[in-house]
């Protein structure tokens, strides 16, 4: 069995050689400069603050729908039917409620299952609660979170 030796250069950029100590075989990897811009994609979740009843739109995919503490009213945030907003399978919608009033996360004609329980229908999100809904099929969502009933 061979060990793998990783030998980098002093700057941390450029070419790095991986070589087996027992053979003359090696593989060369060219790595980006460590000061290069992030190439992994957007790593933050944009916040869409809502202080009224709100129906999610296509642009909310991957975002946080946020109910601020400054709005002391119960609100309903709705995930629309696939027929009106066709989110891609795997779409994630995150909901955060910071106020003392409950936020209802409603579903229209699609089906939303509560993770673990398998029950369907609208859900209630308590103060300081966070819930994430994932679109599993064209008309099926799975939701889980803390402060979610």
pLDDT in tens, 107-132: 999 999 999 999 999 999 999 999 99
Domains of the chain: 1-34 (no CATH), 47-148 (2.60.120.640)
Supply the pTM of this predicted model.
0.73
Q: How far apart are CA 130 and CA 64, in angstroms?
A: 9
Is the pLDDT assigned to residue 9 strictly greater than 80?
Answer: no
């Amino acid at each position: 069995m061979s060990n793998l030796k990783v030998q980098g250069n002093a700057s941390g950029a450029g070419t790095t050689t991986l070589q087996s100590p027992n053979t003359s075989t090696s593989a060369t990897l060219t790595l980006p400069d460590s000061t290069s811009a992030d190439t992994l994609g957007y790593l933050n979740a944009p916040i869409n603050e809502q202080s009224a009843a709100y129906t999610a739109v296509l642009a909310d995919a991957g975002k946080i729908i946020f109910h601020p503490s400054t709005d002391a009213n119960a609100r309903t945030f709705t995930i629309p039917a696939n027929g009106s907003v066709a989110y891609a399978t795997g779409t994630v919608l995150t909901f955060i409620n910071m106020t003392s009033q409950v936020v209802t996360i409603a579903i229209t004609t699609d089906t939303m299952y509560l993770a673990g329980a398998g029950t369907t229908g609208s859900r209630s999100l308590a103060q300081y609660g966070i819930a994430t809904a994932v679109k599993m099929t064209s008309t099926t969502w799975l939701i889980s979170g803390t402060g979610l009933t």
